[in-house]
Amino acid sequence: MIIAILALQGAFEEHQKMLQKLGVDSFLVRNLSDWNQPKDGLIIPGGESTAMLRIAKDENLLEPIREEIEKGLPVFGTCAGMILLAKEVDNDDRSRLATMDITVHRNAYGRQLGSFYVESDFKGIGTIPMTFIRAPYICKVQEGVDVLSTLDGHIIAAQQGNQLVCSFHPELNDDIRVHEYFVKRIAANRK
Ligand code: GLN
């Protein structure tokens, strides 16, 4: 198994370290020729969605990535990655990958005091550490989206078919279980 990690901006190296801990190979995607390598899944990291989108457009990556996700490539988007995957963002109208039937609110916890840590429940895993950095949350899901975690009444993790998203940064703590969850989903998908 080999997983592509979008490495235009943000916390991509930390995701690569998590996959290394799981013994899973990965490669970084900075341009189209990186993207065209064979892969079994994609991670879109946290960072700044506006910067990521600008670079992705300059590199002509948006359309090819969208096509693969629509064909069923498993994808895991964290924080800004979740924003890129959302069909709707209620406070941003930039064009995105827009493959997942969720409505997201950017910088949902405020810009200044928006970073915090909690331990909370993730469906199918248990209590996990969650680091939020100027995070978005999901305000609405359409039919077919499975809610995996909520915090204070807001959805912070969900999945729909081949797509998995969370508001927080699982790559910034030592707990590998969310990455393991994604890898297991890919393995099940390949059978
Ligand atoms: N606030 C960022 C955005 O809107 C996301 C923050 C993050 O990925 N940690 O793109």
- Cα(158) to centroid(ligand 1), Å: 17
Ligand 1 atom at shortest distance from the alpha carbon of 106: 4
pLDDT 10s digits, 57-84: 999 999 999 999 999 999 999 999 999 9
- Cβ–Cβ < 8 Å for 148, 123: yes
**Mean pLDDT estimate for the chain:** 96
What is the distance in A from the centroid of ligand 1 to the CA of 190?
Answer: 31
Of 177, 151, 163, whose CA–CA distance to 78 is shortest? 163
Active site residue 169: yes
Instruction: Name residue 177's amino acid.
Output: R
Cβ(47)–Cβ(85) below 8 Å: no
Reported as a single tens digit per residue, the pLDDT across 84-109 is 999 999 999 999 999 999 999 999 98
**Catalytic residue among 79, 105, 166, 179, which?**
79
- Amino acid identity of residue 77, one-letter, is G
